Structure 1
Amino acid sequence: MNPDLLWTLALLAGAVTLFVIGKPRMDVVALLVLVALPLSGVLTVQQSLSGFSDPNVILIAALFVIGTALVRTGIAYRLGDWLVKKAGSSETRLLILLMLAAAGLGSVMSSTGVVAIFIPVVLGVAARLRISPARLMMPLAFAGLISGMLTLVATAPNLVIHAELRRAGLEGFGFFSMTPVGLAILVLGIGYMLLTRRWLQHGDAQGESAAPRLTLTDLAQAYNLEERERRLRVQINSPLANQPLNELELRQQYGINVIAVERQGKFRTLLLMATGNTQLQPGDVLLVDLISPSIALLGIYQTLGLEPMPLPHSYYSVHAHELGLAEVAMPPESQLIGKTIQELGFRSQHKLNVVGLRRHGQALEGVLVDERLKASDTLLVAGEWKAIRRLQGLSRDFLVLSLPAEVDEVAPAARKAPYALLSLAVMIVLMVSGLVSNVLAALIACLLMGAFRCIDLDSAYRSIHWPTLILIVGMLPFAQALQQTGGIDLAVHGLVALLGDAGPYAILASLFAATALIGLFISNTATAVLMGPVAIATAQTLGVSPYPFALTVALAASAAFMTPISSPVNTLVLGPGQYRFSDFVRVGVPFTILVMIVSVLLVPLIFPL
């Protein structure tokens, strides 16, 4: 070994050691690497900093922006709503659906992009279901990596191996050549994550040092709303049909306070906030608050032509992006003290419903409209988030207390959702068709998002997670350093010498292991470039079909499960999942071994030796 190679290997070992220890931060270690390589003369300054111009780094930055735009337009949270709706309260069902969705999307677009888009979705779903994000983030990353094993265009290494086959005068892989093996590995991955998810949650995973924020569920429980919530459908023959609410006097006569109305639109269910002028239509589903649950008698429903509908979850949590709750207190100088709730006119003046009142910490029951307010009272109001925000400006008479955590999920650009979907579709089509490179497709999507005002410049810059980018940039020069110092050639020659006269299955396993190990230190694309020719040449030397050897290398290049730096996909979830370096080692190494066994057994069945 030459001195430069020894220094490079020592620097690589030192960086990995610091990653394992966890101090200093990973991005700081990456900056130390950027400084150490040119100072030692192994690389020039330009070579060491070349990662800043790497297309993959620009691609990841652009995908952060696209992911934030999908959050701002509400698309990410609607996807989260769909996952929650389909999963119910089952974390198991949620994990399965999440991995299937991520792998399915990743099979036709960048897995890094898919994971970047899903991260805010997973964080929102985890907060809503009150589970640790750590139990979902690594399954998301693994599904993104497995997606590269499903189709030819799913990841760059597949195309590299395809090109190597064509360069050797052979027919390349078909679009779905690897799909059977990829599907088997996806099923294996789902089962494996279901068994090992308990390893992913440690004491600080949920940020126990920070005080938990109040949620809509907390407010509903504090004011005893859950036992009073009902969903009632307006039947065709109902006397309420085609009547405005202020003429029906449902609250005064029946104790039914209509909060909002679910109305079926052309493409989706619309949520209309109830006002005195809201005219009910047949088929509307009323979200009501019963002033006293005892009036919920079937006879009254029949008289009013209302049909009780299922309510598996609180409608405040179901419609959390549109329908909000907030506690309102009154300062001592408020002119409203001594007035009744009826006299406040919350619905007419502020477009909000008073759904609860607490006095001395106790929620009052029964009819509240005639209750005179005292200085110590707090009101619970329900309505659109923007109406609650407006109430914050009326500081003389009202004091809006801390807003629940769900206010963060309100989409400020919800009306731009169709344009965001159009921009996303343009990016996917460009990536799948190959008309332009992935990075150009992502940049075009960013420009479209900005032009359609799905995101503004300030939000775009804030959306980029710079520590992740610095970590990736800092590790990229290692590939060039190992190539220039002869480290890669040494590893490849050693592998060829070890193959010897071993049987084909042993050779396949050796190729998989070598590819996966090299992929720990350099990009999976570079690994495929290096190992593809070795695999094809080995097969030709043995006089057997090169396809199982080439496919094994392609699968192994995507099997970057063992460390958080072996793939940008893993690096993306490192922070949101609050993982340690050892978490990936503990979970990823056994899974990589399982994937190797499945690949070695199944690949020869699809492409006989």
Structure 2
Amino acid sequence: MSPITITLIVLAAMIALFIAEPFPIAVTAIGASIVLAYTGIIETKDIFSGYNSTTIVLLAGMMVIGSSLFHTGITDMIGEKMVKLTGKNERNIILVTLIVSCLLSSICSNIGVMTAMAPLVTAMCISAGFGPSKSLLALLFGAQFGGFVTLVGVGSNASAANAMADLGLTPFGFFSITPFGLGVCVLGTLYFTFIGSKLIPDTGYVPEFAKTEKKELNKTKATIAAVTMAAVLVVIAANFKAVPMHIAAVIGALVIVGTKCMTLQDAIKAIDWNCMILVGSLTAISTGVKNSGTGDAVAQIILNLLGEHPSTFMITTLIFFASAFLTQVMSNIPTILLFMPIGVSVAQQIGVSPYPIAMIITLAGAASYATPFAAPQNMMTVGWTQYKFIDFMKIGLPMLLITYLVVLLVTPIYMPY
């Protein structure tokens, strides 16, 4: 049996188990990684390689900092004040969450934005008297929408620009992606607020970082927690090479514990270990898809389907959906790095500009909406909300179509072939 066949069987079985969920998602994901290792698709050392990553460290540090806002009493105060503005209306809170996360994620890491905003969003929902799961999923989608607005909005954008340079193209500038991103932000926000949020249930789950007794406001400790959070976000946004995001998060967590805003035991409890296990399990699955040649096979199918004289509509459609499909089961950066040389080659063969194709690959490769394991931040949100695989599909597949619509409409105007 070929590596591609084995990988597709494992993926199909994993997705079926995710949908039926006879076991926790983490058990299925790690089990699939073990099967991939013992069928020779990945090495045994790769099964748990995802846990030795800066993303895990970043999440742990930010969870501690975020939880400190609850422990010092500041989130209750902010939540109550925000609810006075939004009212006890879930749709208003979802809309505000989407807009703010869109804006922040256009210049900051989406994981950083999500871990910073999650405590405040949760506090708003608790103050308003309903569960935070829908609003936390809105936080995820808003952060993903915002990642399309500038070149630094998400790491895969910069990777796409680097891949273009390696292929001899002039990389996209800071705002090259903005017209597409604004379209995704506006339509995506309207979709999630008025349609998408009705497709999923309120799970009633409260994240680990918010599971603490209500604390009285301690002004001194609350100030330390708020300033620490702000300082860490500034460092993340500035993207200092000397102080990477995960180091900034750890320093922030050390400040929180060192100044006794939280005890060490409380800091350990604040880390959502279910979330960490889910995020760590993602890497092995992505590695298996890449190692097996599944991505290369998909790319070859595209070339065969396009033929010698494809229409621009056919190019846009096939390139977009192939990239978008693959990024639901493989990390977005490998997807983009795989498709970029293929896309440029296609452009050269049929005599069109490679830039719109490169943009389509950049956008589709980052459109990781439809599965829990499409991106680390998706897995993180599963840990916060307990949403199931089918919930992600219900709300994510229409969002893929909306992103495709934006690409289809904006490309001929802003970046024609």
Q: Same fold (TM over 0.5)?
A: yes
State yes or no: 1:503 paired with 2:311.
Answer: yes
State yes or no: 1:450 paired with 2:268.
Answer: no
Q: CA deviation at 1:139?
A: 1.8
Q: Note if contact 1:424-1:445 (Cα within 8 Å) is conserved in structure 2.
A: yes
**Relative to total residues, which structure has the larger helix share, 1 or 2?**
2
Quick check: 152-161 or 555-564, which moved more?
555-564
Aligned to 1:100: 99
Aligned to 2:116: 117
Aligned to 1:42: 41
Mark the CA change 1:438 to 1:94 in structure 2 (over 3 Å): closer, same or farther. Answer: same
Mark the CA change 1:200 to 1:485 in structure 2 (over 3 Å): closer, same or farther. Answer: closer
Q: CA deviation at 1:26?
A: 0.6
Q: CA deviation at 1:597?
A: 1.0
The one-character-per-residue Cα deviations of 1:442-481 (angstroms, maximum 9, x if unpaired) are 3333333334444332222111111122122223112222
Letter of the structure 2 residue corresponding to residue 27 of structure 1 = A
Aligned to 2:199: 199
Mark the CA change 1:3 to 1:547 in structure 2 (over 3 Å): closer, same or farther. Answer: closer
Q: Note if contact 1:72-1:414 (Cα within 8 Å) is conserved in structure 2.
A: no
Q: How many residues align?
A: 410
* Distance in 2 between residues matched to 1:457 and 1:552, nearest whole Å: 46
Aligned to 1:424: 229
1:448-527 alignment to 2 at 5 Å? 448-500=255-307, 501-527=309-335
Q: Note if contact 1:69-1:454 (Cα within 8 Å) is conserved in structure 2.
A: yes
Please state whether the residue corresponding to 2:176 is helix, strand or coil: coil
Q: Note if contact 1:132-1:206 (Cα within 8 Å) is conserved in structure 2.
A: yes
Q: CA deviation at 1:414?
A: 4.3
Letter of the structure 1 residue corresponding to residue 399 of structure 2 = F
Q: Note if contact 1:144-1:569 (Cα within 8 Å) is conserved in structure 2.
A: no
Mark the CA change 1:479 to 1:201 in structure 2 (over 3 Å): closer, same or farther. Answer: closer
Mark the CA change 1:474 to 1:85 in structure 2 (over 3 Å): closer, same or farther. Answer: same
* Distance in 1 between residues matched to 2:255 and 2:347, nearest whole Å: 47
Q: CA deviation at 1:111?
A: 1.0
Mark the CA change 1:82 to 1:572 in structure 2 (over 3 Å): closer, same or farther. Answer: farther
Please state whether the residue corresponding to 2:416 is helix, strand or coil: coil
Please state whether the residue corresponding to 1:585 is helix, strand or coil: helix
Aligned to 1:167: 166
The one-character-per-residue Cα deviations of 1:72-91 (angstroms, maximum 9, x if unpaired) are 34454454345323212343
Sequence identity of aligned pairs in percent?
A: 28
* Distance in 2 between residues matched to 1:10 and 1:52, nearest whole Å: 25
Letter of the structure 1 residue corresponding to residue 198 of structure 2 = R
Q: CA deviation at 1:24?
A: 0.2
Letter of the structure 2 residue corresponding to residue 14 of structure 1 = A
Letter of the structure 2 residue corresponding to residue 80 of structure 1 = G
The one-character-per-residue Cα deviations of 1:330-360 (angstroms, maximum 9, x if unpaired) are xxxxxxxxxxxxxxxxxxxxxxxxxxxxxxx
Mark the CA change 1:508 to 1:440 in structure 2 (over 3 Å): closer, same or farther. Answer: farther
Letter of the structure 1 residue corresponding to residue 297 of structure 2 = L
Aligned to 1:401: none
Q: Which consecutive aligned stretches of 4+ in structure 1 deviate over 6 angstroms post-superposition? A: none
Q: CA deviation at 1:596?
A: 0.7
Mark the CA change 1:159 to 1:40 in structure 2 (over 3 Å): closer, same or farther. Answer: same
Letter of the structure 2 residue corresponding to residue 574 of structure 1 = V
State yes or no: 1:582 paired with 2:390.
Answer: yes
The one-character-per-residue Cα deviations of 1:197-235 (angstroms, maximum 9, x if unpaired) are 222226xx337xxxxxxxxxxxxxxxxxxxxxxxxxxxx
Mark the CA change 1:407 to 1:513 in structure 2 (over 3 Å): closer, same or farther. Answer: closer
Q: CA deviation at 1:555?
A: 1.5
Letter of the structure 2 residue corresponding to residue 24 of structure 1 = F
Mark the CA change 1:451 to 1:198 in structure 2 (over 3 Å): closer, same or farther. Answer: same
The one-character-per-residue Cα deviations of 1:96-122 (angstroms, maximum 9, x if unpaired) are 211111111112222122222333323
Q: Note if contact 2:278-2:383 (Cα within 8 Å) is conserved in structure 1.
A: no
Please state whether the residue corresponding to 2:249 is helix, strand or coil: helix
Aligned to 2:23: 24
Letter of the structure 1 residue corresponding to residue 204 of structure 2 = Q
Please state whether the residue corresponding to 1:476 is helix, strand or coil: helix
* Distance in 1 between residues matched to 2:346 and 2:42, nearest whole Å: 32
Q: Note if contact 2:272-2:383 (Cα within 8 Å) is conserved in structure 1.
A: no
Name stretches of at least 5 consecutive residues in structure 2 with no aligned partner: none
* Distance in 2 between residues matched to 1:193 and 1:553, nearest whole Å: 24
1:101-250 alignment to 2 at 5 Å? 101-196=100-195, 197-201=197-201, 205-206=203-204
Aligned to 1:58: 57
Mark the CA change 1:552 to 1:70 in structure 2 (over 3 Å): closer, same or farther. Answer: farther
1:398-437 alignment to 2 at 5 Å? 408-410=213-215, 414-436=219-241, 437=244
State yes or no: 1:565 paired with 2:370.
Answer: no
Aligned to 1:307: none
Mark the CA change 1:20 to 1:504 in structure 2 (over 3 Å): closer, same or farther. Answer: same
Q: CA deviation at 1:520?
A: 1.0
Mark the CA change 1:47 to 1:206 in structure 2 (over 3 Å): closer, same or farther. Answer: closer
Letter of the structure 2 residue corresponding to residue 519 of structure 1 = T
* Distance in 1 between residues matched to 2:186 and 2:4, nearest whole Å: 41
Aligned to 1:546: 354
Mark the CA change 1:407 to 1:466 in structure 2 (over 3 Å): closer, same or farther. Answer: closer
Aligned to 1:4: 3
Aligned to 1:342: none
* Distance in 2 between residues matched to 1:183 and 1:411, nearest whole Å: 41
1:286-435 alignment to 2 at 5 Å? 408-410=213-215, 414-435=219-240
Where relative contact order (Cα < 8 A, 6+ residues apart) is larger, the structure is 2
Letter of the structure 1 residue corresponding to residue 27 of structure 2 = V
Mark the CA change 1:427 to 1:536 in structure 2 (over 3 Å): closer, same or farther. Answer: farther
Letter of the structure 2 residue corresponding to residue 541 of structure 1 = Q
Out of 382, 385, 405, the position equivalent to 1:597 is 405
CA RMSD of aligned residues (A): 2.5
